């Protein structure tokens, strides 16, 4: 696996592959990789001849009081994991390379981005879509892979691809979980031992929502209440939202269907975690 840090080198490698008629897969990440990211590399490899991964901690998507400066990083480890998994090319630009000038033009998503994560993290999705759009332009992938754990992000990227007529196949990889249900996330590293135990509440709340649906509850209020009851068992956990929503538009629904998504966000100590599940896709 080769690592490049500037667009000219990236473009040169990609041009050679394109001339050979290779199909190109892209897996954008912010690094500090875990098995969830590596499964996305597997998915890209299944669908493309060459796989490009990117590692870039994008300042545009962090709010002023968020964890940009302490976001975990370990480039050597990430590089070894990606190479082992069969990545062909790694792009690791610096902030100066990605944003040589103050950003004047950015993508501004609409209502889909103002709910849920967007309400708690104003400007976050504008930052995500702007950097993903730049990476799409730089790499020109045939297929791009994102994780389901960031459900709203994946839905917005799908919508961006549609709205801007990008000829890119989007693949969303299932959330990978620890044995006790906790969704893998680079931010899990912030959890101390007690908070790590409390963090199980997110997946437990989603399981409870799925159980309520299987038991015949069809109104969204009842599904949300089943999830909320689980969080209620620990008063130290602060719930930001429990969303029961349409999986494409992310609008709240009144009555659920098998494809309804339940998204949760909660603060465990100083760490904010998110998770989600589709009602008819039981989480292990």
- Residues belonging to the active site: 37
Cα separation, 185 vs 166, in Å, equals 28
Nearer to ligand PAF, 88 or 150 (CB): 150
Binding footprint of ligand PAF, residue count (CB under 6 A): 10
The end-to-end CA distance of the chain, in Å, is 34
The verdict on 128 binding ligand PAF (CB under 6 A) reads yes
- Which H or E run contains 240? strand 238-245
CB of 147 to ligand PAF, least distance (A): 7
Among 14, 26, 30, 145, binds ligand PAF (CB under 6 A): 30
What residues numbered 38-67 form the site for ligand PAF, per CB under 6 A?
58, 61
Site stretch for ligand PAF (CB under 6 A), options 27-35, 220-228, 240-248, 265-273: 27-35
Among 14, 24, 29, 185, binds ligand PAF (CB under 6 A): 29
CA contacts within 13 A on the Cβ side of 131: 25
Cα separation, 277 vs 181, in Å, equals 12
Helices marked H in the chain? 7-19, 35-47, 75-84, 95-98, 117-120, 124-139, 151-163, 193-198, 200-214, 220-231
Nearer to ligand PAF, 137 or 214 (CB): 137
The verdict on 130 binding ligand PAF (CB under 6 A) reads no
Nearer to ligand PAF, 4 or 172 (CB): 172
Site stretch for ligand PAF (CB under 6 A), options 25-33, 68-76, 167-175, 255-263: 25-33
Q: Please say whether the beta carbons of 125 and 153 come within 8 A.
A: yes
Nearer to ligand PAF, 114 or 233 (CB): 114
Among 14, 24, 28, 263, binds ligand PAF (CB under 6 A): 28
Nearer to ligand PAF, 127 or 207 (CB): 127
Site stretch for ligand PAF (CB under 6 A), options 13-21, 24-32, 137-145, 168-176: 24-32
Find the angle CA(76)-CA(80)-CA(81) to the nearest 5 degrees. Answer: 115
Q: How far is CA 48 from CA 73, 103, 155, 228, in A?
A: 27, 32, 22, 41
> Residue 228's closest CA among 238, 218, 219?
238
Cα separation, 28 vs 36, in Å, equals 12
The verdict on 78 binding ligand PAF (CB under 6 A) reads no
**Number of Cβ within a 10 Å radius of residue 208:** 20
CB of 154 to ligand PAF, least distance (A): 9
Cα separation, 67 vs 147, in Å, equals 20
What residues numbered 133-192 form the site for ligand PAF, per CB under 6 A?
150, 153
CB of 58 to ligand PAF, least distance (A): 4
CB of 48 to ligand PAF, least distance (A): 18
DSSP conformation class of 70: T
Q: Summarize as ranges the residues that interact with ligand PAF (CB under 6 A).
A: 28-30, 58, 61, 128, 131-132, 150, 153
């Amino acid at each position: 696996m080769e690592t490049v840090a500037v667009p000219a080198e990236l473009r040169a490698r990609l041009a050679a592959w394109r001339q050979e008629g290779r199909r190109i897969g892209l897996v954008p990440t912010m690094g500090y990789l875990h098995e969830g990211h590596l499964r996305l590399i597997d998915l890209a490899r299944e669908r493309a001849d060459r796989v490009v991964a990117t590692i870039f901690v994008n300042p545009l998507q962090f709010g002023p009081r968020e964890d940009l400066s302490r976001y975990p990083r370990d480039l050597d480890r990430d590089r070894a994991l990606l190479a082992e998994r069969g990545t062909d090319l790694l792009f690791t630009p610096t902030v100066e390379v990605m944003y040589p000038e103050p950003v004047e033009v950015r993508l501004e998503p609409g209502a889909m981005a103002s709910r849920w994560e967007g309400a708690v993290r104003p400007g976050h999705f504008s930052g995500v879509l702007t950097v993903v759009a730049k990476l799409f332009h730089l790499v020109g992938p045939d297929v791009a892979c994102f994780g389901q754990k960031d459900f709203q992000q994946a839905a917005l990227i799908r919508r961006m691809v549609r709205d801007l007529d990008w000829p890119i196949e989007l693949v969303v990889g299932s959330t990978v979980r620890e044995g006790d249900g906790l969704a893998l996330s680079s931010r899990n590293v912030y959890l101390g031992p007690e908070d790590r135990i409390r963090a199980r509440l997110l997946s437990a709340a989603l399981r409870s929502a799925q159980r309520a649906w299987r038991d015949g509850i069809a109104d969204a209020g009842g599904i949300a209440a089943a999830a909320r009851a689980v969080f209620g068992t620990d008063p130290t956990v602060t719930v930001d939202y429990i969303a029961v929503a349409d999986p494409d538009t992310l609008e709240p629904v009144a009555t659920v269907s098998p494809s309804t998504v339940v998204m949760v966000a909660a603060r465990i100590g100083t760490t904010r975690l998110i998770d989600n599940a589709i009602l008819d896709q039981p989480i292990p």
